[in-house]
Amino acid sequence: MTASVKKTDAAEAAKAGQLPHNPWDGAEQMHGGGDWPKVDANGIAPGEPEHQGAGPVLEALPETASLDEVRAALIEWARSLDGAPPLDRAVERLRAVAALKRVKAAERGAAALVDSSMPPAPGAASAPVGTDLLPPEPPPWEDTPDGSAVLSELVETLRRFVVFPSPSAAVAAALWCFFAHAIEAFDVAPILALTSPEKRCGKSTLKRMLHHLVPRAIDTVNISSAALFRTIEIAAPTLLIDEGDSFLAGNEELRGLLNAGHTRGEVAIRLVGDDHEPRGFKLFGAKVLARIGRLSGTWSTVEDRSIVLHMRRQAPGERAEKIRGELRLQGLLTPLRRKLARWAQDHLQALRDARPDVPEALNDRAADNWTPLLAVADAIGGAWPETARRAALELSGAIEEEAGNPRVQLLADLRACFREAGNPEQIATKEILHYLHGLDERPWSDWRGKPLSARALGTLLAHYRVHPAPQWREGEGDRTKWIRGYARAAFEDTWRRYLPSEEEPSGPRHPAPAPGGGLRTDTSDTAEGKPQDPHPTRPFPRVSDANPAPSEGSVGCVGSNARGLRGRP
C-alpha cells in the first residue's frame, strides 16, 4: 500500500515538474550525492552540441514510397548522425527501422538498409591492434660482393653459434639463405625443416640467426590457415615457424597449404566482399619450419618438400658461442644480409636461366628441392658446386620414406622376403606373414593392436594395385592342397618405382632383414666393407686450380664420393 502511494506521488510530482526528468539526477538524490554526469532534460551534457534527429524525414515517407525515395531519405537521415553520441545513434536507429517497416518496398530489409546507411561512429577508425610484422629492410650492399667469400663467411658464422649435425648441414642452411634472397628466380621453394629428437638442440638459435639473414622475415609460433595465405599475399615474407610440434598435428588444412606453397602459381581461393567474389591468394614463398620430432604420418608430405636438417644436442666436447643480446646479433648479421641481397639482385637473371645438374641418387622431389641451392652454388663457382652436391647427397640422397609411410616399409620387407627365399615365383600368404611377424623393430607383429593379418596385408598392398595371385595347387594325391599367396611378378614394377635399386650406393632405404628377423650387419657384398659406386662415369665438375677446395677441417667439400649427375631441363 505504501509503495503504491509513493509511486503515485512520484508520477504526480513528475507531471507537475517537481522531480527531475533526468534519471541520473534522481539516482544522485536517492543515493545521497556523488559524481554523476550532469545533463539537461534532453540528455545533453553542458558544452555538448545538441543532436538533431532526422526521424521525421523517414517518418514522412508514404507506405507506397519507392526504393529510390527510401534511398534518398536514408542519405539525408545519415548526414544528421555525423558526430552523434552513441546513445543518440542507437535511438535514431530504432526510430529509422520502425519508420521503414511501414514502407512496403523496404519492410523486409528495414534493419539492413538502416545499418548500411549509418556513418562510422566517432573514433571508430582506431589504430590497428598488434605489432607491425615487417620492419624496414636494410639497403643492399653498395658494391657487388664476391659470392664465394660471402658464402664462406656465412657458413663460418652459422657454425660459430650453432652445432650442426655435419658441415653439410651448415652449407645447406647458408645456401638456403641465398635462395631466400633470390626466390624470384625460382619456381620451387623448398622448406627448410629444422627437426630434433629433443629440446635444446639448436633449432631456435638457428632460427634466430636466419631471422637476421633472410629478407622480410616474419617469426611466428602459431599461425592459422587464413593468416598464412593472407600474410603471404600482402607481404611476400620469409616465414619462420617455430614450435611446430605444438599446433601442426591434425591441422590438415594448414598442411595442404604448406604443401601447395612449394610450387609457384598455387593459390588458395576465398570469397571476398559483399558480392562474394572469388579471389586467389598466393601460397608460394620461403618458409622455415622448426619442431621437435620428425614430420611423420600425414606430415611426411611436408618433409618430402623440405630440406631437412636433423639437429641434435651438442656433445660434451662440442662448443658453440652464446648469443649475447638480439641487438648484438643483428649488428653482426646485418652486413651479411646486405651482401646476400646485393648478390641476389645482381645474379637474378643468371639464376632464372640456370639448369644445374642434379645427382642421380636424389629422387625427383629431392632434386626439385635442391635445384635452387645448386643453381646458387654454380653461380658462385669455385669449389662450391661440388660441395653443394655432396651436401645434397649426404642430407637427401638416402631419404627414409618408410619413417612416415608403413606401406613403403612393407614393400621393402616383402622384397627382402622374396630375396631370402631364393626369389621364387610365388610365396604363400601364411609364409609371408610368418616372416613379417618375425622382423624386429617392425610394426607387423603389433599392427594396430594385433599381428598383421592376411586381410590387412591385402589392404596395404591394394594401394599399389598389388593383389593376391590366383590359388595354386601343391602336393599330389591325397596331400594336394590349394595355396593362396602373392606372385613375385606382381611386385617387380612396384619395387622398381617406389624403392631404390638394391645396387645404389646410398644403400636401401630399409636395412635388409636377416634370417629369423633383425637387421643384416654383414658387408660380404662389398669390397673392404665399403659400397661400390655404380655411377663412376660422370664425376662432379672439376674444381678450378685458381680456387682450390678448402683444407681439412674447414667448410668445404664434405660428404661422400662423387655420384652420377643428370641434367635438369
According to the 3-state scheme, what is the secondary structure of 47-94? CCCCCCCCHHHHHCCCCCCCHHHHHHHHHHHHHCCCCCCHHHHHHHHH
- The DSSP line for 275-287 is TTEEEEEE----E
Residue 544 pLDDT exceeds 50: no
Angle between helix axes 147-161 and 326-353 (nearest 10 degrees) is 140
Q: What is the pLDDT of residues 45-99, one digit of tens each?
A: 555 444 455 467 888 889 898 988 888 888 888 888 887 888 888 888 898 888 8
The mean pLDDT of the chain is: 79
Question: With 70 as the cut, is the pLDDT of residue 290 above it?
Answer: yes
- pTM for this model (two decimals): 0.59
499: its cell numbers: 624403392
From the CB of residue 58, how many other CB atoms can be counted at a distance below 10 Å? 26
Contact 305, 130 (CB under 8 A): no
Predicted pLDDT at 3: 46
Predicted confidence band of residue 509 (pLDDT cuts 50, 70, 90)? very low
Identity (one letter) of the amino acid at 415? Answer: R
Residue 340 has pLDDT above 60, yes or no: yes
SS3 at position 164: coil
Domains delineated in the chain: 23-117 (no CATH), 147-345 (3.40.50), 402-498 (1.10.10)
Q: Which residues contact 67 (CB under 8 A, 6 or more apart)?
A: 105, 106
Q: Is residue 566 within a helix (H) or strand (E), and if so which, with residue range?
A: strand 565-567
**309 pLDDT tier (thresholds 50, 70, 90):** very high
Cβ proximity of 194 and 309 under 8 Å: yes
Judge whether residue 176 has pLDDT over 90. yes
CA 477 to CA 352: how far, in whole Å?
Answer: 73
Is the separation of the CB atoms in 154 and 213 below 8 Å? yes
Report residue 37: phi and psi, to 5°: -65, 140
- Residues 514/520, Cβ–Cβ less than 8 Å: yes
Q: Does the structure show a pLDDT above 60 at 515?
A: no
The span from the first CA to the last CA of the chain, in angstroms, equals 99
C-alpha cell at 372: 635452387
Mean pLDDT, rounded, for 484-490: 92
Q: What is the mean pLDDT of residues 177-185?
A: 97
User: Does the pLDDT value for residue 440 go beyond 90?
Assistant: no
* Element (DSSP H or E) covering residue 208: helix 203-211
Query: What pLDDT was estimated at residue 136?
Result: 85
